[in-house]
A and B are shown apart, each in its own frame.
Chain A
Amino acid sequence: MSAKKPTPADLIQIDFNPGKKDWMDAKIDFEKKRGNWNYQVLPKSAEYVGMPYPRKWSPADEDWKLPDNWQKIIFEGLRDRLDKYRSFKIFMDICVRCGACADKCHFFIGSGDPKNMPVLRAELLRSVYRNDFTAAGKIFGSLAGGRKLTVDVLKEWFYYFFQCTECRRCSVFCPYGIDTAEITMMGRELLDLVGLNIDWIGTPIANCHRTGNHLGVQPHGFKDSIDFAVDDLEDITGVRAEAPINKKGAEILFVIPSADYFGDPHYFGLLGYIALFHEIGLDYTFSAYASEGGNFGLFHSNEMMKRLNGKIYNEAKRLGVKWILGGECGHMWRVLHQYMDTMSGPADFMEEPVSPITGTKFENSKSTKMIHICEFTADLIKHNKIKLDKSRNDQWRVTYHDSCNPARAMGLLDEPRYVINGVCNHFFEMPENTIREQTFCCGSGAGIGTDENFEMRMRGGMPRANAVQYVHEKHNVNLLACICAIDKATLPPLMEYWVPEVEVGAIHELVGNALVMKGEKKDRTDLRGEPFVGTETAGKEEEANV
């Protein structure tokens, strides 16, 4: 029942002129808009984690089976959130609609839908707020920009708040720092209050709550995956590494997004981590309980985020580690950097992180006690603690995609670049308005990377893909490196759609490739099993001889 997939040539016909019709007209034809929205949350998943009003319904239905007092619930929820979040309240009040954010949103650029301008996405909620929560709105109503909360408005919220990836690019340009991600988050929380949510968020949450990870991988499955990776690595390099799980007394707990041990190309990054840790002799452990760094709760509600987040500190405490190392992931790091300590801290049972290899004190995480793998590896490279052969990545001409959350919620910009420059010879930046803090989202973050949402994803990813295309054409770039699990899952189809011939890879895949390991076999290949450039020609000659 999935919609017919449009071709790139269709999608690129974008009309940015919003026309004259007043935007307050809210009606959305979901049937016609298939490919642009996500399926509703399954009642089973919703029930498992106690989301309100679990029921069978579909956005394509006319009747969404809302609870009778849905308006009251929303208003109370709105008031509650206004009292809890200064950000929300201020962002409701001070927007001047200058329009600086308008063409900064990847969904607007890709779709031309005026309501995907961040300002208008926020106005969807703001108009209701004005109508019922401000004096001016109560007196002047629509003259003051107010709008009644109707079912159509609610449906519009559903449509557009699940068409925002909370990437915060607009907030970089806003003169008041208004962060549409905050508004989307509040909008989604409100929708959830009346049981409106999507399955791609609801089910991973339920899985994560139960098994510890979004994919629902149970502990033995997790162990299988890690063991499999260790075997794989031995096949490739001839080196047998250790990858302990739930090891008490390890110095470091290593937390990664679950896609790393199940997804492709994430998996090559996992091989890279294991190889690196083996090479430097790191005393670390995986955890089958804290087997997920990602946190889809972030896309649901703050409460859900906190529920899923708790296990990391719990596990660190139980295992008695000194500090925590986090793998490559985007929104995981938004949670770890900006929320975890506040929600689940203080982490006073651990020590301030110190690299056992270089002795570097990571003062920037002295409270949270969790450092990013790129910070860790950059430090290793800086201190020449690992032997690297850059030419082993010569098959790749690399560009780097700053993942939104590490870039705009963390400021992790130069560390990944430092690592990339340390492990490969050919690195090219995309145009400057598309990288670093101005980076473009993959178009599928924040829980909306589904197949049913394909058209919107391709539209939203278009600005990113276009920038990749630029370096692809100019510098023959063939690898898009990134440090986000969602990126690694959703950029490959995006590349295939817009810029075929560009692969996606983890930074630590490149690290693993370049890493010269002690005792490695002579004919080792890169982590994808391809011979290194240079050795490859020798192999071909042999073939020719045979």
Chain B
Amino acid sequence: MLEKAITGDKRYWGWIAFVLMLIGTGAIAYLRQLDQGLTVTGLSRDVSWGFYIAQFTFLVGVAASAVMVVLPYYLHNFKAFSKLTILGEFLAVPSVIMCMLFIVVDMGQPFRVQNVMLYPSLNSPMFWDMMSLSGYLFLNVVIGYMVLSSEKKGIAPPKWIKPFIIISIPWAISIHTVTAFLYSGLAARPFWMTAVLAPRFLASAFAAGPALLILIIFLMRKLTRFDAGKEAIQKLAVIATYAMCINVFLVLMEVFTTFYSGMPEHMHHFEFLYVGLHGNNTLVPWMWLSSALAVVALVLLLTPKFRKKEVILGFACIAVFVSIWIDKGLGMIVAGFTPSQMGEVVDYWPTLNEFMVSIMVWGIGLLIMSLLYKIIFTVRGETKPALEAKEDKKELTVPSN
């Protein structure tokens, strides 16, 4: 089955070559970071986590969102998702790997990463996060692989896989919860120290993940013979809609609590994000863009007429995804550090080098996802013939179903 990933037409190999080129370019930037240290990033003693950790946080959400197809299918027997579960699981796999890589590239001493296992520290949420992420990776690899290979063999998946699938559902919730605990347990950072952080993370994940999945389905429909079916897409859209509602709701809760109570330590962070603080407006336009997109997305999604039009749904999904990416992937982490414990506002924006390293990690994720999806579609006989073959009047192979 794995060999499906290394057979393909020119279009496929062209894409893989492109992704490898991205990775290679990013790797050069990473080597530079290894050599010179994290000074090549925009990070500072005040804003000590930035783009890398923000990407990590965002991607944990993408990974966790697989549960939004797994749960309806396996617990509620929602048949329309039968073809989607593996897509979800094989989206979770590269996402978790990217999460781990973003942590590694953020480390000052990446070659000591194994110390987390060698000296397990039960009091550190980071230890638990690593445990839950690797567990989730393991679960998704095993489940996705076993289900797909059984599908290929034309037999029912082995019985022992069922408990794994059931466990994977709460496990998905756990990865994003523990990730929220990384932040929300810090007394030093009032912005994060809120009980709704984990629910907010989950709500945003369950909006962004299904939105991404819908976009992937649209893309795959263009590139392959795969079709998830209208029902599945609409159900995903509904999931994204309500998750987005809850997400926006929770953000508004935060805003109320912060500003009505009027505690300056809490307010400053929101001020920094939405109006700027001490003359620093770096994130202000972004955050308003995010809010605007959220509003647009909600209007489009909540109106059934729009939601059911696939073109509009596509736009809405892009709006959801980008809105949440800005919120989590840009704002969430930096705002926690701004203002600093000393009340200072230190400007942070990722450097080119930092951005390139992120490209490397995204590239590795894309590569893994491409390989895995290639395997899925080849096994299911859903690949489209190469362009050359299309020009040819007679196709060499005829699909077996």
Question: Is any CB of A less than 8 Å from a CB of B in the complex?
Answer: yes
Interface flags for A431-461 (1: CB within 8 Å of B; 0: not) read 1000000000000000000000000000000
* B397 lies within 8 A of A417 (CB): yes
Say whether A427 faces chain B, with CB atoms less than 8 Å apart. yes
Q: In the complex, which residues of chain A have a beta carbon less than 8 angstroms from the beta carbon of B400?
A: 428-429, 471, 475
Q: In the complex, which residues of chain A have a beta carbon less than 8 angstroms from the beta carbon of B396?
A: 414, 417-418, 421
* B395 lies within 8 A of A421 (CB): yes
Interface flags for A126-150 (1: CB within 8 Å of B; 0: not) read 0000000000000000000000000
One of A414, A427, A470, A475 near B154 (C-beta < 8 A): A470
Main secondary structure of the interface of B (DSSP, over half): loop
Question: Nearest residue in A to B154 (C-beta to C-beta)?
Answer: A470
Interface flags for B363-401 (1: CB within 8 Å of A; 0: not) read 000000000000000000000000000000011111011
Q: In the complex, which residues of chain B have a beta carbon less than 8 angstroms from the beta carbon of A414?
A: 396
Question: Nearest residue in B to A431 (C-beta to C-beta)?
Answer: B154
A418 to B394, CA, bound (A): 8
Question: Nearest residue in A to B381 (C-beta to C-beta)?
Answer: A429
State the Cβ distance, B41 to closest chain A Cβ, in Å: 46
* B154 lies within 8 A of A421 (CB): no
Q: Which 10 A-B pairs have the closest CB atoms?
A: A427-B398, A429-B400, A421-B394, A428-B400, A414-B396, A422-B394, A417-B396, A418-B396, A421-B398, A421-B395
New A-B contacts (17) at CB < 8 Å, excluding given A471-B400, A475-B401: A381-B394, A414-B396, A417-B396, A417-B397, A418-B394, A421-B394, A421-B395, A421-B396, A422-B394, A428-B400, A429-B398, A429-B400, A431-B154, A470-B154, A474-B154, A474-B401, A475-B400
A242 to B360, CA, bound (A): 69
Interface residues of B (CB under 8 A from A): 154, 394-398, 400-401
A428 to B400, CA, bound (A): 5
Interface residues of A (CB under 8 A from B): 381, 414, 417-418, 421-422, 427-429, 431, 470-471, 474-475
* A429 lies within 8 A of B394 (CB): no
Q: In the complex, which residues of chain A have a beta carbon less than 8 angstroms from the beta carbon of B394?
A: 381, 418, 421-422
State the Cβ distance, B207 to closest chain A Cβ, in Å: 39
A471 to B396, CA, bound (A): 19
State the Cβ distance, B374 to closest chain A Cβ, in Å: 15
* A428 lies within 8 A of B154 (CB): no
- Greatest chain A CB density within 10 A among B394, B395, B397, B400 is at B400
5 CB contacts below 8 A, A to B, read: A417-B396, A417-B397, A418-B396, A429-B400, A475-B400
One of A381, A428, A470, A471 near B398 (C-beta < 8 A): A428
Main secondary structure of the interface of A (DSSP, over half): helix
Q: In the complex, which residues of chain B have a beta carbon less than 8 angstroms from the beta carbon of A475?
A: 400-401
Question: Nearest residue in B to A428 (C-beta to C-beta)?
Answer: B400
Question: Nearest residue in A to B153 (C-beta to C-beta)?
Answer: A431
A182 to B351, CA, bound (A): 63
State the Cβ distance, A501 to closest chain B Cβ, in Å: 19
A381 to B154, CA, bound (A): 35
Q: In the complex, which residues of chain A have a beta carbon less than 8 angstroms from the beta carbon of B397?
A: 417, 429
Question: Nearest residue in B to A414 (C-beta to C-beta)?
Answer: B396
State the Cβ distance, A546 to closest chain B Cβ, in Å: 40
A510 to B400, CA, bound (A): 20
Q: In the complex, which residues of chain A have a beta carbon less than 8 angstroms from the beta carbon of B398?
A: 421, 427-429
Q: In the complex, which residues of chain A have a beta carbon less than 8 angstroms from the beta carbon of B395?
A: 421
Q: In the complex, which residues of chain B have a beta carbon less than 8 angstroms from the beta carbon of A421?
A: 394-396, 398
Q: In the complex, which residues of chain B have a beta carbon less than 8 angstroms from the beta carbon of A474?
A: 154, 401
Q: In the complex, which residues of chain B have a beta carbon less than 8 angstroms from the beta carbon of A428?
A: 398, 400
State the Cβ distance, B379 to closest chain A Cβ, in Å: 9
State the Cβ distance, B153 to closest chain A Cβ, in Å: 8
Q: In the complex, which residues of chain B have a beta carbon less than 8 angstroms from the beta carbon of A417?
A: 396-397
A471 to B401, CA, bound (A): 10
A421 to B393, CA, bound (A): 11
A474 to B400, CA, bound (A): 9
- Greatest chain B CB density within 10 A among A381, A418, A422 is at A418
Q: In the complex, which residues of chain B have a beta carbon less than 8 angstroms from the beta carbon of A429?
A: 397-398, 400
A475 to B397, CA, bound (A): 16
State the Cβ distance, A480 to closest chain B Cβ, in Å: 15
A422 to B397, CA, bound (A): 11
A431 to B1, CA, bound (A): 12
Q: In the complex, which residues of chain B have a beta carbon less than 8 angstroms from the beta carbon of A422?
A: 394
A418 to B398, CA, bound (A): 10
Question: Nearest residue in A to B379 (C-beta to C-beta)?
Answer: A432
Question: Nearest residue in B to A471 (C-beta to C-beta)?
Answer: B400
A414 to B394, CA, bound (A): 12
A327 to B4, CA, bound (A): 34
A145 to B102, CA, bound (A): 54
A46 to B38, CA, bound (A): 84
A475 to B401, CA, bound (A): 8
Question: Nearest residue in B to A470 (C-beta to C-beta)?
Answer: B154
State the Cβ distance, A396 to closest chain B Cβ, in Å: 14
State the Cβ distance, B142 to closest chain A Cβ, in Å: 22
State the Cβ distance, B115 to closest chain A Cβ, in Å: 38
Q: In the complex, which residues of chain B have a beta carbon less than 8 angstroms from the beta carbon of A418?
A: 394, 396
Question: Nearest residue in B to A399 (C-beta to C-beta)?
Answer: B400
A63 to B267, CA, bound (A): 103
A414 to B395, CA, bound (A): 11
A421 to B395, CA, bound (A): 8
State the Cβ distance, A272 to closest chain B Cβ, in Å: 19
State the Cβ distance, B14 to closest chain A Cβ, in Å: 22
State the Cβ distance, A527 to closest chain B Cβ, in Å: 22
A427 to B154, CA, bound (A): 19
A429 to B398, CA, bound (A): 8
Question: Nearest residue in A to B392 (C-beta to C-beta)?
Answer: A382
Q: In the complex, which residues of chain B have a beta carbon less than 8 angstroms from the beta carbon of A470?
A: 154
A381 to B392, CA, bound (A): 12
Q: In the complex, which residues of chain A have a beta carbon less than 8 angstroms from the beta carbon of B401?
A: 474-475
Q: In the complex, which residues of chain B have a beta carbon less than 8 angstroms from the beta carbon of A427?
A: 398
A422 to B401, CA, bound (A): 19
Q: In the complex, which residues of chain B have a beta carbon less than 8 angstroms from the beta carbon of A381?
A: 394
State the Cβ distance, B369 to closest chain A Cβ, in Å: 23
A12 to B271, CA, bound (A): 75
A381 to B398, CA, bound (A): 17
